[in-house]
Amino acid sequence: MTIENPKDGFDLIEYPSDYGFKAMCRVEVNDSQSASEAIQQLVFQHIDQSALIETHAHQSRTGKFESVTVTLRIDSREQLEAIYKSIAESPRVVMTL
């Protein structure tokens, strides 16, 4: 039996929606930009700054990594996928959730 149109969790989201993007980032000592600022810059390529609801960041106890959560108002699945792709392709990002 073949499923012609498989569904994933993103199909269950009703748009517009408030959505939290999470990323684990390397702390770049020589970079003047924090991990939070770097993630926001990537996100703002796809969405207006007024869609930003909040940003949280937490540095690891070793200081090598910073977890960043950016909550946004997104309008479509395509927008959600484009934002995830930009975040995941950043060399500073170790993992996205």
* DSSP element (H, E) containing 79: helix 77-89
* Type of residue at 5: N
Calpha distance 97→75 (Å, rounded) = 19
Task: State pTM to two decimals.
Answer: 0.83
Single out the residue of 70, 74, 59 nearest to residue 27, CA to CA. Answer: 59
Residue-level pLDDT, tens digit, the chain, 97 residues: 444 555 566 677 899 999 999 999 999 877 788 999 999 999 999 999 999 999 999 999 999 999 999 999 999 999 999 999 999 999 999 999 8
Single out the residue of 60, 94, 77 nearest to residue 12, CA to CA. Answer: 77
